[in-house]
Each structure stands twice: as C-alpha cells, then as structure tokens.
Amino acid sequence: MPDVGRVYLVGAGPGDPELLTLRAVRLLQQADVIVYDHLVSPGVLDFVSPTAERIYAGKRRNEHTMRQEQINLLLVKLASEGKQVVRLKGGDPFIFGRGGEELQELAKHGIAFEVVPGVTAASGVASYAGIPLTHRDYAQSCIFVTGHLKDGTADLDWPSLIRLHQTVVIYMGLGGLAEICHQMMVHGASPALPIALVQDGSIASQKVVVGTLSNMPERVASENLKSPCLTIIGEVVKLHDELAWFKQTTALTPQ
C-alpha cells in the first residue's frame, strides 16, 4: 500500500464472511486501522490483521456510539496521519450505508479514497432465505426502501410500493412493520400478500418468519424478532417453502 493516507470504504456483506470480496479480505489484512459498524459480523473481523487497530463506531438504533460527524472527522484524522484506513460497513456501503456522506467529507479534505462494494442485505439475505427477488412467474421488478420511521410514521411513497409483479425489500423496517403493513393495505395491497421477515440473514442464528400483510405484525410480536431484520414483500415469498436451503430455526407459512 502507498505511504500517503487513504480510506477504503469497504462493504462487509450481510454476515457470512464467505460473502466478502477478495479485495475486502486483502484490504482487511493490510490496513493499519479498521473503523467498523455494529452490523459487521464477528466472523468478518476474524480476517482483520492482528496488528491493525480496531475502532468500533457503533450506530445501533438508539445507541449512537459515535455521531456521524465524529466518524467523518475520525476518518479524516486517521488518513491525515498517513494511515491506511478501512472503513468497514455491513452489506454494501452505498446502499443505506451513509457511505456517500463519509466520502463527501473526505473529498472536502482532499483525502484519497476507494470504494469496495459488498453484498447488500437484499441480495445476500434473500439468497440465504431461499427467496428469489425476481422470478418470471411472480415479479419482474424489485424496489429497495428504508422503513426507518421519523416521528412514528414511515414517509414512503405507498402507491409505488403496491405495484403488481414487484418485490418490495424494506431495510430497517422492523420497528415500523405494523404501520407499513397497514399503509400498504390502505393503499390497495391485498391483505393476503405474502411477506417475510429475515433476522440475522446468512449467519447461524438466521430466522425466517413468513406470513401475510394482515397477520405479520402479530406474528412478529410473538416471534420476538430482533434487528437486523430485512422485510421482503411480494408473491416471490411463496417460493421460500420450496427453496429454503439454509438452516433456520423458524419457518411459518402463510395462512
């Protein structure tokens, strides 16, 4: 690696370390310092060089270990000291990862950077849950949205979410699930539309709960699902029963 400081914004994938890219593994082994988020799985951190400094930047919901501005400044500081910095984020850094914001700050300070894409939760988690996001019989398009609530309401473009033959993938949608199901039905989606929630996708504790828009909020409460959890809505969810291949502790079918 060169002598001047540089930041590598690296996607760690959804959890299973086998889903890391070769470039990510190489950089983890060569970096001077790793700044990582809570979504990065312990198995991924096993690839970090034993001599590298590890800094936990946190950012779990309601537990903001470091504010975004502090993280931005930290990256600038470390790179200015001439260090090779890996900024490691769960999934893909450019999909609901605030990676763009961090790079803007680096660009402002003239710090060199590179981006290494990762397997985003939508594709990684859906694969491990046996739910193809598109399928010629069920869905010809797929939309990714964030279900993160502001002031208790999800400010989503509901009409765009209820299109036929489309799969909806919702990141950060666990807290607002009841509201999301309710709004989709109010806007015309069938109460029987299949929906899956996948907790801890791609690691041993993966749990898949399948239901419908009408019964999912109740199921989620009784299943005690926890973050990180990905929501997949659409007819493709029906394929889970047939295609699930990864070990699961729970799989309920729509009624």
CA distance 230 to 173: 7
CA distance 12 to 249: 24
Residue that has been written with the tokens 């501005």 in this structure: 69
Residue 17 DSSP code: G
Which of 228, 233, 237, 254 forms a contact with ligand SAH (CB under 6 A)? 228
Applying the rule CB under 6 A, the residues between 160 and 179 that interact with ligand SAH are 171-172
Q: Does 92 bind ligand SAH (CB under 6 A)?
A: yes
Q: Does 9 bind ligand SAH (CB under 6 A)?
A: no
- Kindly provide the b/e burial profile for residues 222-254, where b requires at least 16 CB atoms within 10 angstroms of the residue's own CB: ebebeebbbbbbbbbbbbbeeebeeebeeeeeb
Nearest residue to 174 via CA among 121, 133, 106, 131: 121
Residue that has been written with the tokens 């400081």 in this structure: 5
Catalytic residue among 3, 32, 46, 59: 59
Which residues of the chain form beta strands (DSSP E)? Answer: 6-11, 33-37, 53-58, 84-89, 112-116, 141-146, 166-171, 194-199, 207-212, 229-233
Q: Beta strand pairing status for 229-233 and 166-171?
A: antiparallel
HSE (side-chain half, CA atoms, 13 Å) at 51:
5
Closest CB 157 distance from ligand SAH, rounded Å? 19
Which of 90, 117, 130, 176 forms a contact with ligand SAH (CB under 6 A)? 90
Q: Does 91 bind ligand SAH (CB under 6 A)?
A: yes
Which of 33, 48, 87, 97 forms a contact with ligand SAH (CB under 6 A)? 97
Contact by Cβ (8 Å): 47, 29? yes
Nearer to ligand SAH (CB atom), residue 161 or residue 172:
172
Residue 236 DSSP code: G
Q: Which stretch binds ligand SAH (CB under 6 A): 95-103, 108-116, 149-157, 245-253?
A: 95-103
CA distance 116 to 94: 10
Q: Does 17 bind ligand SAH (CB under 6 A)?
A: no
Here's the x/- map for ligand SAH, 43-82, by CB under 6 A: it reads as ----------------------------------------
Which of 19, 34, 44, 121 forms a contact with ligand SAH (CB under 6 A)? 121
By CB under 6 A, how many residues form the interface with ligand SAH? 23
Closest CB 210 distance from ligand SAH, rounded Å? 15
Catalytic residue among 37, 83, 89, 238: 37
Closest CB 187 distance from ligand SAH, rounded Å? 22
Please say if 157 is a catalytic residue. no
Q: Does 102 bind ligand SAH (CB under 6 A)?
A: no
Catalytically active residues are 37, 59
